[in-house]
Amino acid sequence: MRVYLLVAGLVAVLAANAAAQAGRVTGVVKDDHGDPVKGATIIAENPDASPTSFTASTDEKGRFGIIGLRSGVWQLRASAPGYASDGGELNVRTMPAVTAPVTLTLQKLIVPPSALGSTAPKDLQAALASADALYNNQKWDEAIVAYNAILERSPSLSVINLQIAAAYRNQKAFDSAITAYNQLLKVDPDNGKAKVGIAMTNLEKGDLDMAERTLETAAQTPGATREVFYDLGEVKLARSRSDDAVKAYERAAQIDPTWGKPPFALGRMALTKGDTAAARKYFQTVIDIDPVSPEGAQATTMLRQLDQLR
């Protein structure tokens, strides 16, 4: 009896310790109009963790939750049929600390009637769902084949090249990804996502010169997006051009004052320079304007760490 109680007590302690080491991520997935996306797939990945990935789905209000993640930086990606995928890095904190909720925004893929060709809308939707399922399961080759098959039937649906390029980038087939982006730009020369995609693919490829030139050209076009200037800041920073990076981040913040990424990047730079007062100001700005973003969670952590150094 004593042995049983001892074993039971040990199991309880181990279970408590395991729970204490488990991280939880919650959030919501919305479309570009702010409406919840039901049935979106959320994948969290960390190659240094075990298991290395977790998958969840959103409910009718776009909400999701994942538990069991170890502390560290995870790649979070959301996708849904008929939408371009979205994601980024998230610094997961284990219990009893709490990782702030995140918001992921999916851009709806608009399918004009002219893009359907001879394909019935219902059949096209089913084909997109099947291709997206392959993508979500990281079956990159099969997903690329499926997306290309849709393009063959509906050539005007060129926006699918964004997903094809993303699949190639996951394979580190950078030249093929750039080709896919350029296919979209032939039809839609002002597509900001394709321009940013080419630049960031070149950055992943290690071609900083081309990444910088691509983004600088995109930044000079009318209606350049916040992402163009933010990613230009990232490239400038990678090239140790701090002043230019600051200008790019500030321009991104001007375009969208509610976006937490630019002030977080500026706070990160200020901290590197040892200007803790400026860093605090930027991190607090992130928390004020974008509290449920991954940057909001990281800014909260950074402020707490700065407080401990006082």
- Percent share of the chain, pLDDT over 70: 86
Round to whole Å and give the CA distance between 24 and 65: 7
In a domain, 101, yes or no: yes
pLDDT(5) > 80: no
Predicted confidence at residue 173, as pLDDT, reads 95
Are 178 and 209 spatial neighbours (Cβ–Cβ below 8 Å)? no
Q: Using CA atoms, how far apart are residues 234 and 208, in angstroms rounded to an integer?
A: 11
Mean pLDDT is lowest, of 36-45, 80-89, 94-103, for 94-103
Of 108, 135, 156, which residue is a domain's last?
108
| Average pLDDT over all residues of the chain | 82
Is 43 in contact with 135 (CB distance < 8 Å)?
Answer: no
pLDDT tens column, 47-69: 777 788 888 888 888 989 888 88
Q: Is residue 104 part of a domain?
A: yes
User: For the purposes of burial, counting CB atoms within 10 Å of the CB of 105, is it exposed (0-12), middle (13-18) or buried (19 or more)?
Assistant: middle
Q: Is residue 151 part of a domain?
A: no
Task: Report the range of poorest mean pLDDT among 21-25, 79-83, 132-136, 139-143.
Answer: 21-25
pTM of the model: 0.58
Domain of 96: which CATH number?
Answer: 2.60.40.1120
Given pLDDT bands bounded at 50, 70 and 90, which one contains residue 232?
very high
In a domain, 172, yes or no: no
**Which of 58, 73, 108 is the last residue in one of the domains?**
108
pLDDT of 279 higher than 50: yes
In the prediction, which pLDDT does 193 show? 82
Q: Is residue 218 part of a domain?
A: no
Q: What are phi and psi of 10, to 5 degrees?
A: -65, -40
Query: How many domains, in total, are found in the chain?
Result: 2
What DSSP assignment string belongs to the chain?
A: -HHHHHHHHHHHHHHHHHHHT-EEEEEEEEETTS-B-TT-EEEEE-TTSSS-EEEEE--TTSEEEEEEEPSEEEEEEEE-TTEE-EEEEEEE-BTTS-PPPEEEEEEE----GGG-TTS-HHHHHHHHHHHHHHHHTT-HHHHHHHHHHHHHH-TT-GGGHHHHHHHHHHTT-HHHHHHHHHHHHHH-TT-HHHHHHHHHHHHHHT-HHHHHHHHHHHHTSTT--HHHHHHHHHHHHHTT-HHHHHHHHHHHHHH-TT-SHHHHHHHHHHHHTT-HHHHHHHHHHHHHH-TTSHHHHHHHHHHHHHHHT-
- Is residue 59 in a domain? yes
Which domain does 289 fall in, by range? 257-305
Of 71, 93, 108, the last residue of a domain is 108
Per-residue model confidence as pLDDT tens digits over 108-162: 765 555 544 555 567 777 888 888 888 888 899 999 999 999 998 888 888 899 9
Token digits of residue 130: 């099947």
Domain presence at residue 278: yes
Q: Does residue 153 form part of some domain?
A: no
